[in-house]
Structure 1
Amino acid sequence: MELNRAVAENIKRIRKQQKLSLERTAALSGVSRSMLGQIERGEANPSVAILGKLASALKVPAEEFLHNDGFEARLLSREVDNRAERLDGGKVLLRPSIPYEETTRLETAFLDVYISGCYRPEPSVSGCVCTATVLSGTGLLTVEGETVPLQERDALRFAADQPWTLENQGNSTVRALLLWQYRKKES
């Protein structure tokens, strides 16, 4: 869940648990009723100062508002809503699909590598694993000094915390799905 939405829902949930109206919470915190309503609807991003006032009024630590463990099992990502990034002089198109989520520790993107294009991402964070699945075309994926040809429906999982490339040396566009899985942070 997006952090702004989590803050909005947490403030509203805590306020309702304490059986406080918007008006009463506004009076206790010094935050206007209209601003509080906008925050709870996710229409306004509260400043740290406002979060502090609300925390004081609701008698909870401000970090309570930041809890974001609400996992949305169903998430629709439409291509028109995701801004594509052109790389390699326009020969590569990277379109985010499912954004990173703390609960799943995954993110995905669609990748189009046009004729003579090469996708060269920055190495990811330590422990990140990527699975590249070719949907159409033929590409050459190079990682750890080894080049692996990938054809339609081939998939390769590899450590993405080092340099790697997916190159198109064929006569048609290489279309791939990239899935990154991030290692759980050790406490």
Structure 2
Amino acid sequence: MELNRAVAANIKRIRKQQKLSLERTAEAAGVSRSMLGQIERGEANPSVAILGKLAAALKVPAEEFLRCDAFEPTLLSRELDNKPQRLDGGKVVLRRSMPYEEGTRSETCFLDVYISGTYTPDSAVTGSLCTVTMISGTGFLTVDGETYTLQERDAMRFAADQPWSLRNQGNATVRAMLLWQYRKEG
């Protein structure tokens, strides 16, 4: 669920739990009824100041509005909507396929490593895991100083909070799917 939809749903849920009308909540927060309605429908993005007023009116911490425990079981992510990230002088293309969701605590990306390219990600969050699944080509995955040869349909999972890289030393493009999983803290 995207953040502004989560905020909208949380404000509406909290207001209804407190059995408050839209009019009464808007009046207590000092915002118009139509503005609150637009916020609850996800049609308007409230400023931090308005979130603060709504939190005071509903007597909850403002961070309650940002809670996003649910996820959408059906989510279509189109390639054209996901801007590619070009790395290693254009020899690597990283394209998000499924965005991060708090409910699943995961995200996925497509990775193309062209001839002589190397994908070396930034440090990941402590405790995170990455699964690299080869779609095509032969890649050389180096994790914790050890190098593994991955071929089509091979997959490897490892702790992603350490330095790692995927290198293409062959004469064909390496294509892989990356699954990032983030453990819940505490």
- Calculate the TM-score normalised by the size of structure 1: 0.90
CA drift of 1:182 comes to: 1.6
| Residue of structure 2 in register with 1:13 after alignment | 13
Q: Which residue does 1:32 correspond to in 2?
A: 32
* Within-5 A mapping of 1:63-78: 63-78=63-78
The corresponding residue for 1:85 is: 85
Q: Name the aligned partner's letter for residue 172 of structure 1.
A: A
Q: Which position in structure 2 is the counterpart of 1:100?
A: 100
1:90-132 CA distance string (max 9 Å, x none): 1110001112222222111000001111111112122211110
1:150 paired residue number: 150
Which whole-Å CA distance do the structure 2 matches of 1:52 and 1:176 have between them? 44
AA at the equivalent of 2:2:
E
Letter of the structure 2 residue corresponding to residue 62 of structure 1 = A
Alpha-carbon displacement from aligned partner over 1:34-68 (angstroms, at most 9, x marks no partner): 32122112232222321222233334443332322
Q: Is the 8 A contact 2:133 2:177 kept in 1?
A: yes
Q: Which residue of 2 aligns with 1:122?
A: 122
Taking structure 1 as reference, are residues 145 and 62 closer, same or farther at Cα in structure 2, changes over 3 Å only? closer
Aligned-partner SS, 1:100: strand
RMSD across aligned C-alpha pairs, in angstroms? 1.8
* d(CA) in 2 for partners of 1:61, 1:138: 51
Structure 1's unaligned 5+ residue stretches are: none
Aligned AA for 2:170?
G
Shift of 1:20: 4.1
Report which stretch shifted further, 48-57 or 116-125: 48-57
Cα distance in structure 2, aligned partners of 1:51 and 1:114:
46
- % same residue: 77
Against the structure 1 CA distance between its residues 127 and 9, is the aligned structure 2 distance closer, same or farther, given a 3 Å change threshold?
same
CA–CA separation in structure 2 for the residues paired with 1:131 and 1:96:
14
Which position in structure 1 is the counterpart of 2:167? 167
Residue 161 (structure 1) shift: 1.1
How high is the TM-score relative to the length of structure 2?
0.90
**What is the CA-CA distance between 1:19 and the residue it aligns to?**
4.7
* 2:12 aligned with 1:3: no
What one-letter code is carried by the residue in structure 1 that aligns with 2:64?
A: E
Residues 67 and 125 (structure 1), Cα distance of their counterparts in 2 relative to 1, 3 Å cut = closer
> How many correspondences in the alignment?
186
Contact (CA 8 Å) 2:3, 2:68: kept in 1 or not?
yes
Structure 2 alignment gaps of length 5 or more: none
Which amino acid counterpart does residue 95 of structure 1 have in structure 2? R
**Secondary structure in 2 aligned to 1:97?**
strand
* CA displacement at 1:168 relative to structure 2: 0.9
Q: What's the CA shift string for 1:10-42, capped at 9, x where partnerless?
A: 112233444544333322321022321221122
